[in-house]
């Protein structure tokens, strides 16, 4: 195998593929990165058996040549050293050559590295998912879906199913839901016509997989194809193939958590509320959740307070655009509230309360498709 490649292109692909490679894997060859050269271009693969990522560098794209002098072949290189070597090479082009004894030469300018490779035949084959259950969404919309839900997955392994995001497709709608049983985040988007006959609801994608996918995907109007089988999900763009296992088990029915009545409604500036809670949380760091209290006052004023007996207290009033319904005092985790407000892309939010000990809802004032739910904290 032999080829000459643009270093920047190679580095981008190496960084993407590294997100799937773990030094803790039980299969030794998976600590390496598979490199495959064909007449079409160069493909890099990384996998830890939970996530597999393939990144393809085409021979040329839009008239720009990325790979030349290709002699087809494949090799597995130690992922511990290869990325750092590529990053520090002196020239813009890199020549990689493999001899019959799996010895790899990496040359760039006056620098030359020799690495011991492994036989690519021993690298596990990734399943090629050809599935009826496929649909397309724009990449930037998928990134929004992930950003607005994945932070609410559970970090505790006591209920493994809650460490994932529940993806549903029904009635030409795609929805993502995440909960750690103290809060819930959900977002819906309409799908194009081609998803008419699709329907599935118990697809649970590990939160870690979605976080890595989100880092790899650039902001783009292009589409990504999502394919689902019984225990795996595939995200596919022109030059990327991202495969993740799905979590086993049944995701809890979350719709019954959503209160159907509102006793107190507050409409308020997102940024002002976020900054006020951020300040209140400064003195609430002692307890794990940084509890702050919200109290409705006269003339549409909202009082945000936090009190730590050993440290001191903070009191601040924020003006709300609307305060309707019953008077309210409620305590909640500052962190959860700030997480929810940060993903709102609107200037104002509606907060719907149904009493001091009941979950409350936060929605953007224009978009009904985003919903955040938070359980209050008992304070005595």
- Range scoring the smallest mean pLDDT among 6-10, 40-44, 46-50: 46-50
Q: pLDDT tens digit string along 14-36? A: 999 999 999 888 889 999 999 99
Quote the CA–CA distance of 285 and 283 in Å, as a whole number: 6
Q: pLDDT value at position 33?
A: 97
Residue of 169, 246, 168, 252 whose CA lies nearest to 208: 246
Reported as a single tens digit per residue, the pLDDT across 168-212 is 998 889 999 999 999 999 999 998 766 667 888 889 999 999 999
Query: What pLDDT does residue 193 have?
Result: 67
End-to-end alpha-carbon separation of the chain, Å? 70
Q: What is the mean pLDDT of the chain?
A: 93
pLDDT at 331: 95
- How far from 158 is each of 151, 154, 163, 167, 253, CA to CA, in Å? 18, 9, 9, 21, 18
Q: Where are the domains of the chain?
A: 2-122, 134-255, 258-374
What is the pLDDT at residue 315?
A: 96
Regarding the domain with residue range 2-122, which homologous superfamily does it belong to in the CATH classification?
Answer: DNA Polymerase III, subunit A, domain 2 (3.10.150.10)
Q: With pLDDT > 70 as the criterion, what percentage of the chain qualifies?
A: 97
Are the C-beta atoms of 318 and 273 separated by less than 8 Å? yes
| Tokens found for residue 279 | 């300040």
Residues found in the chain: 380
DSSP letter string, 86-130:
HHT-SSSEEEEEE-TTSEEEEEETTEEEEEE-B-GGGSPPPP---
Identify the CATH assignment for 134-255 out of 3.10.150.10, 3.40.50.2300, 3.40.50.11720, 3.30.1330.10. 3.10.150.10
Digit-coded pLDDT (tens) for 85-119: 999 999 999 999 999 999 999 999 999 999 999 99
Residue 59, pLDDT > 90, answer yes
Tokens of 215: 């880092």
Give the pLDDT score at 287: 64
| Residue 10: per-residue pLDDT | 96
Residue range 258-374, CATH number: 3.70.10.10
The pLDDT value given to residue 111: 96
Q: What is the pLDDT of residue 194?
A: 65
pLDDT in tens, 277-311: 999 999 877 666 689 999 999 999 999 999 888 88
Whether 258-374 and 2-122 are alike in CATH topology: the answer is: no
Give the pLDDT of residue 221: 82
Residues near 130 by beta carbon (within 8 Å), at least 6 away in sequence:
none
Q: Averaged over 121-144, what is the pLDDT?
A: 87
Task: Assign 321 a pLDDT band (cuts: 50, 70, 90).
Answer: very high
Which token pair is 96? 């990689």
* Average pLDDT, integer, range 226-245: 93
The model's pTM: 0.92
Tens digit of each residue's pLDDT (9 = 90 or more) over 332-360: 999 999 999 999 989 999 999 999 999 99
Burial tier of 278 (Cβ tally within 10 Å: 0-12, 13-18, 19+): middle
DSSP string, 30-64: GGEEEEEE-SSEEEEEEE-SSEEEEEEEESEETTE
Place of tokens 């879906």: 145
């Amino acid at each position: 195998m032999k080829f000459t490649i643009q270093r920047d292109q190679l580095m981008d692909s190496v960084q993407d593929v590294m997100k799937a490679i773990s030094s803790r894997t039980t299969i030794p060859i998976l600590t390496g990165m598979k490199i495959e050269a064909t007449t079409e271009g160069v493909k890099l693969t990384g996998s830890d058996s939970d996530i597999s990522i393939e990144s393809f560098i085409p021979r040329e794209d839009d008239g720009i040549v990325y790979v030349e002098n290709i002699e087809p072949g494949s090799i597995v290189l130690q992922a511990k050293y290869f990325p750092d070597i590529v990053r520090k090479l002196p020239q813009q082009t890199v020549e990689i050559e493999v001899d019959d004894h799996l010895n790899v030469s990496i040359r760039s300018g006056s620098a030359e590295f020799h690495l011991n490779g492994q036989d690519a035949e021993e690298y596990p084959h990734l399943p090629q998912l050809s599935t009826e259950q496929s649909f397309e969404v724009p990449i930037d919309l998928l990134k929004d879906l992930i950003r607005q839900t994945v932070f609410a997955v559970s970090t505790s392994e006591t209920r493994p199913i809650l460490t994932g995001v529940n993806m549903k497709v029904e009635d030409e709608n795609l929805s993502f839901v995440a909960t750690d049983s103290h809060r819930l985040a959900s977002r819906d988007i309409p799908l194009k016509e081609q998803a008419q006959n699709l329907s599935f609801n118990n697809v649970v994608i590990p939160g870690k997989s979605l976080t890595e996918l989100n880092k790899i995907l650039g902001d783009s109007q292009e589409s990504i194809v999502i394919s689902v089988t019984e225990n795996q999900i595939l995200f596919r763009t022109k030059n990327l193939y991202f495969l993740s296992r799905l979590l086993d088990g049944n995701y809890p029915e979350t719709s019954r958590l959503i209160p159907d009545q509102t006793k107190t409604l507050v409409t308020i500036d997102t940024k002002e509320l976020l900054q006020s809670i951020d300040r209140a949380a400064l003195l609430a760091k002692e307890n794990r959740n940084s509890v702050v209290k919200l109290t409705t006052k006269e003339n549409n004023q909202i009082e945000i307070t936090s009190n730590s007996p050993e440290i001191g207290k903070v009191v601040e009033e924020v003006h709300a655009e609307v305060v309707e319904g019953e008077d309210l005092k409620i305590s909640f985790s500052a962190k959860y509230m700030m997480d929810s407000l940060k993903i709102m892309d609107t200037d104002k939010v509606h907060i719907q309360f149904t009493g001091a000990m009941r979950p409350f809802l936060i929605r953007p004032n224009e978009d009904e498709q985003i919903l955040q739910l938070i359980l209050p904290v008992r304070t005595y």
